[in-house]
Structure formats: structure tokens, C-alpha cells
């Protein structure tokens, strides 16, 4: 289990709750608001935790471009040229920031059945062999981010929890598969769907999600 107490304050070991926020809508984002409700409630009962927010649209996320992709291949072969070294050091910094958290919250609206591309960009940066996962000698892959819970906070305009909708719900399915791949086993969720159908449905689903947020914050 990777426990990564990140600093000690007056003799108390503090832990990090990392919120990866992927809606660009700031104050008007409901996924962000629901995440804030969950996190504030969590922190009230867990005073040794300190939040860190990664607002993916306000950060200077590097492109995972030709140099970065080649660095990933050259790492285990010829070695890195100076450009690749510089790019790889940045990748390592992003990975270390991610891996140093003790608990995770990922908030994401559905965008075209998935989520905003900044979240995929972030995933492409941190998900490197030897960092988030490793290849074992028998050819299998082992995730390295283990022993920590993650809460997914998902919003969508339509309804995807029924039989017709499920086939289009790559937002939830992708995140579960991806997180399992890199080692997570404790994956939880708060979903507010139907946000763009009409105000009555939206409000009913928001209320339900907010009640669930308060309960799930107690035992996260």
C-alpha cells in the first residue's frame, strides 16, 4: 500500500486529497460544485487531510507530442536526447504530484459520451510504464497506484443509467477501466445525470447526488 504522508504539521502527519477537476466552467460547473460539497464534508470529518485542486483548464498541461512520445520509447532503449530529457522530467513531475496523493476525487462532465479532452491529456501525461504501471516478466501488466480510494463525480446532460444509455456511457466505463489498469480497486462514484433535460429532472437528480455526497463523505 502506498501511503504518502506529504508533510507534518505541528507533529500531526498530514495527508493529501487530490481533486482533479476537468470542467472548464469554473463557478458555473455542477460537477465542480458537487465535488466541493463532497470534499468540504469529507474535510470536516478528516482534519488531517489537506485538499489540492488540479484545475486542468487553468494549468499549463504540456502537450504529449512527438518528443514526449519518443521519450517514452527511448527511455528503455538508446537513452534520451536533451529535448527528451527535459520533456521527461516534466512528465515525472506531473506523475509525482499525482502519485503523492492519499485519496483522489476526479470530477468530470460527460462530453460527447466521454469527458473533456484536458482530462485525457492529463491521463496521457501521467500514465507511463514504470510510473503508473509496469510490465512484469511474465508479460502481464501491474498497476502501481494501489491501496488508495478514488471518488468519481460525474455529471451529464442526458440519461445513461438505463439499458439504452449504458452503451454510450464511455465516461464512466473508461474511468473505471483506466483506474483499474493503473492499480485502483476502491472506486466510488456520485453521478448526477439528466442535467440538461429540464429543470425538474435536473434539480431532483442534483438533490439526490448531494444527499449521497454527504453520506459517502463519511466513510471515504
Bridge partner residues of 103 (DSSP): 17
In the bound complex, what is the minimum distance in angstroms from residue 215's beta carbon to ligand FMN?
Answer: 21
Bridge pairing between strands 12-21 and 133-135: unpaired
CB nearer ligand FMN, residue 98 or residue 160: 160
In the bound complex, what is the minimum distance in angstroms from residue 195's beta carbon to ligand FMN?
Answer: 4
The binding site for ligand FMN (CB under 6 A) comprises: 23, 25, 29-32, 109-113, 155-158, 195-196
CB nearer ligand FMN, residue 80 or residue 154: 154
CB nearer ligand FMN, residue 170 or residue 178: 170
Buried b (16+ CB within 10 A) or exposed e, 39-76: bebbeeeeeebebebbebeeeebbebeebbeebbebbe
- Alpha carbon separation from 202 to 24, 142, 189 (Å, rounded): 20, 40, 18
In the bound complex, what is the minimum distance in angstroms from residue 96's beta carbon to ligand FMN?
Answer: 28
Q: Which DSSP string do the residues of 3-31 spell out, in sequence order?
A: ----EEETTEEEEEEEEEE--TTGGG-HH
CB nearer ligand FMN, residue 23 or residue 128: 23
In the bound complex, what is the minimum distance in angstroms from residue 111's beta carbon to ligand FMN?
Answer: 4
Amino acid at each position: 500500500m502506498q501511503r504518502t504522508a506529504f508533510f507534518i504539521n505541528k507533529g500531526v502527519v498530514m495527508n493529501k486529497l487530490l481533486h482533479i477537476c476537468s470542467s472548464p466552467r469554473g463557478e458555473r460547473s455542477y460537477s465542480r460544485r458537487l465535488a466541493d460539497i463532497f470534499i468540504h464534508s469529507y474535510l470536516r470529518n478528516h482534519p488531517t487531510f489537506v485538499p489540492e485542486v488540479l484545475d486542468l483548464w487553468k494549468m499549463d498541461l504540456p502537450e504529449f507530442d512527438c518528443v514526449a512520445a519518443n521519450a517514452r520509447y527511448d527511455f528503455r532503449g538508446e537513452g534520451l536526447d536533451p529535448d527528451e530529457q527535459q520533456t521527461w522530467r516534466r512528465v515525472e513531475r506531473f506523475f509525482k504530484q499525482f502519485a503523492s496523493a492519499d485519496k483522489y476525487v476526479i470530477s468530470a462532465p460527460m462530453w460527447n459520451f466521454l469527458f473533456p479532452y484536458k482530462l485525457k491529456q492529463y491521463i496521457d501525461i501521467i500514465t507511463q510504464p514504470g510510473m503508473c504501471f509496469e510490465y512484469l516478466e511474465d508479460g502481464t501488466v501491474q498497476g502501481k497506484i494501489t491501496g488508495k480510494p478514488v471518488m468519481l463525480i460525474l455529471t451529464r446532460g442526458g440519461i445513461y443509467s438505463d439499458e439504452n444509455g449504458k452503451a454510450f456511457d464511455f465516461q464512466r466505463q473508461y474511468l473505471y477501466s483506466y483506474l483499474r489498469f493503473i492499480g485502483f480497486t476502491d472506486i466510488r462514484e456520485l453521478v448526477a445525470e439528466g442535467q440538461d433535460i429540464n429543470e425538474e429532472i435536473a434539480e431532483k437528480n442534483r438533490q439526490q447526488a448531494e444527499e449521497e455526497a454527504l453520506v459517502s463523505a463519511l466513510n471515504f
